[in-house]
A and B are shown apart, each in its own frame.
Chain A
Amino acid sequence: MNSIIITRAGTHSTIQDFGRFQYQHLGVSPSGAMDQRIITELQKIIPNHQNQFLEFAYVGPSIKVKEGSVKICVGGNCNMSIQKNNNSQLECQPYKSINLFEGDELIIHNTIDSVYGYIAFEHGLGLEPCLNSYSTDTKAGIGSINRPLNDEDIFHISKDVSSWDLISIPKPDLEKVTNFKVYPGPQLQYFSDNTLQSFISGVFTITNQSDRMGIRLKGESLISSKSHDILSEGILPGSIQVPSDGQPIVLMRDIPCTGGYPKIAILNEVDISRISQLPPETKITFDLQTIY
């Protein structure tokens, strides 16, 4: 038996996978990793990840091997090091597999010029799925672990490491994008041409009131010519909704399942991952695609 203990949970550490689907009509949000590009890359290094990825934001977790050994890989842009059992320190890099032995501690200091990072564990973390997914929705209290990770959380990984071979991939080119092509939202016609012009030509700032549910933007006020109150309807991640204060919110992975604000536009799937990595104070712009 192999086990690890969380010695420092970090700020927003949760278990995530590619999302929980087929339950949104029962009020269950899809959730899933904020930056799905990274867990897609990690699959190449740790193919047997069992869909149990650890997601962290800003301040990463520290993980110590309590018993046995584990093989892991970190994805994202982050500072990290390994404190070996014999007190020596080892440098380590994302997108390279890491073998950790009893007493070794992986310390992820922080993400650099980005928000989210991930750890894949060979054979997973010994978790049971919840509604066919390992993802955590902390607001709804749904998940294999229905809360953020805490200090002292212990995971048991029954299978042993398959091979000590070190595997790495070139650091993926996850370029930073701040101009987003968006498609018209279902309530585009709730906004006048002038307001749409402000949306396209304006610069919006990501605020620190942003989380897994949504990224709140600050910029020119986008006041609807019709109403900011629509009858609630189903929504997709990436939708840009505008409440009555005119400040848009990009809905992210832990979306409310239905929503009552007009949606001016929607991002494509890969841009949801891209925008999730932009820290507060980043300035962004939108390009409205007319086809679709």
Chain B
Amino acid sequence: MAKAAILDRIDQALGNERLRRAVRKATDTFRGGRARVISDFDWEAMREKARALRAHTIEHLDYYLEQLAARVRENGGHVHFAENASQAVEIVRRIAAHHGVRSVAKSKSMISEEIHLNEVLEADGIEVYETDLGEYIIQLARETPSHIIGPALHKSREDIAELFSKLEGRPLSSDTPTLTQVARRRLREVFLKADMGITGCNFAVAETGSIVIVTNEGNGRMVTSLPRVQVTLMGMERIVPRLEDLDLLLAMLTRSATGQRTTSYVSIVSGPRKEGERDGPEAFHLVIVDNMRSSILGGEFQEALNCIRCGACLNICPVYRQIGGHAYGWVYSGPIGAVLTPLYKGIEEWGEVAQASSLCGACYDVCPVKIPLHDMLVGIRRASVETGKSKALERLAFRAFGFVMSRPGMYRAALKIGRLAQAPFVRKGRFRAAPPPLSSWLSHRSLPSLPKRSFREIWAKGIDDEPGDRRGTS
């Protein structure tokens, strides 16, 4: 990604008042909801428990993955491991071909966004329908999700009414019942005709070989019960050791995500339909996707794999609030996206995304599994510098910084030189113009010039107390 690209995307977002309004409104709703329900428990103690559970799981990922695969197979399902995006896509294509699939109903899966599954299946002549309402909307708009939890969160009600009106070929009002009725009617048809259901996976339970899907619309349940073939895509880190671990993690996930104590539907699927059962797929395939995750294991960013994809860090992020998700350039946005994108896509090319943060640390405060995102963002920047691909001028500037700051005499001289050098740019105690990078500061803010005397010069002349200053204490 060219460096200009992220700045261009940010500029574009900042110029889109409709988008910014929609993002502010949606994130405020999520944020407010979260704030109301986290006091149900000793939240900090829960965070620590959740962190420890995630850390333990990731630490022993090989063990739990083996256990999960064995249990899924015992339950009559098939397990596939995909090292990268193209392998994952190939696996799904083969399954679809094997079962003669012509139509797919999908519930939300971020992994499928990572591997660009829809495009490939469509190229094979298969109809693919997103059934999560938000995903359905962005599929119609031919966009990508801008938020982990609310994929179409950047769209206003009016935007959605426009899309649906075009779909229906008649003008629709933008009220919720009208819009949801359209989606409901159309999606019912999708569920009934789909040969294959593709789902994501919030958690996979190692001890039972079950996959867990959390939704509010019930589409996850439709997708896992009506089509004759089910494919579930999971990132290899989406695992919990025991069924009872869900108690903690679901409580944290839904509260952190939408401020709900629980969602409308939690579907736990353990393999294909068994004899005597009335619904569920005839065939069940679990595709476990690595796609760069194992490269993070064992390194300084391992904790990023603890993420349970709640989106709380997006909702609290003051940067995300201004620009929404697309500006980050890839599937994951907000603070977690600014960490994961360079790690998954390559620091050299994508490291710049980690600059889209003021390092305010709000993300860490709300993270239900205590990922130190603000420190990781600095870590990504450091790793980025270490690739040697940072701007030559910037490298030079910081080398000079280190040189000057380790020599107090030079620092004192620099203050004086600065005062002389600024003269052409200063009028009435303010910078009027300046070379880059100061010019970017000045394009949006004023800046006082260096005053006649620095603090240390004032100190050297003596700071007098006003008469009687110390009368209270003398």
Q: Do A and B belong to a common assembly?
A: no
